Structure 1
């Protein structure tokens, strides 16, 4: 697991195994789950924006290639190449018309996900302070690891990682699509959220959620 220095400095009750029976145990896990889901939604918004720009770039590259062939061959407007160029120009016009709307949607999606993450992290930090938890909440190492992964990265780092992933995915890298799962497993927040949800399912802390073996 990453960020060992953060785990070592977590200002929480003494680290001993257990805690599942404590009332705060479920609340902490639910907050970790929400952080993981919000991080995934940030990745979805960034990936969607990257894909939108990549579509425009792809059409422009195709146009350059087709029009280059037309110029080299000196063919007339009735040829298949000219028909292909006309179709690409029409597609480019359509995509560029809707691009600002899609980008605005993705930015709104990103902003909402970031707000959710800030709220979930604030709740999580409030739950694990000694004043809230008290000495009766034995926060075991597993829970400390999940909390650390849920709060280890600042938003600029999360955004930069998601943007790099989005560009790589558009370039053909075999990276998982964040829209395909409840948690994006290339993110420490996503891994923590998945593990927290699994633990909640095992301890009966989920109502109607996914069940895990």
Structure 2
């Protein structure tokens, strides 16, 4: 998944005690941030093989520390503790940790068997990337549902807030379509990792801009 991972982040951000949206957008892709960093450090690895699956050319053959269930739980727990301390809220920490954990669960649906429980076989994954008729509406549906929940829970404080959130949604949907059907792939795993890190950073910054023009739930209730 790509934009589908942001659905839980957007939904969680609608909660009155949630950490800021950009923090949750980082949480949604925390294990991918770590994965791409580990790829550049030669700790984890993947290959780019055009046609590897119907929707993704990535052969994610070695990612025991970021995409095992155990590894994800450790990342989620660390993020939950840090977020809870920074925002002085147990609820904020739990929401952040839950969003991190959602990444593995969503990947389980779309990945071919390349996920693990603790870094070694059995390999897990339902392989929906090879079933576009299911994977495409699933990913878009998860993202759009999160976007709707966020818009409902954090109403715009001005017309700019509406335009920014709408633009954010359209931009990510367009990026997803290019990712699926654009046909242009990075030249190497390192280039793909660098592009991924840049994309996730830009998305978090866009989330910060969006959140500046959305009201907190408590404010909307008054």
TM-score, with normalisation over the residues of structure 2? 0.32
- Structure number with the bigger relative contact order (C-alpha 8 A, sep ≥ 6) is 1
TM-score, with normalisation over the residues of structure 1? 0.33
Q: Which has the higher strand share?
A: 2
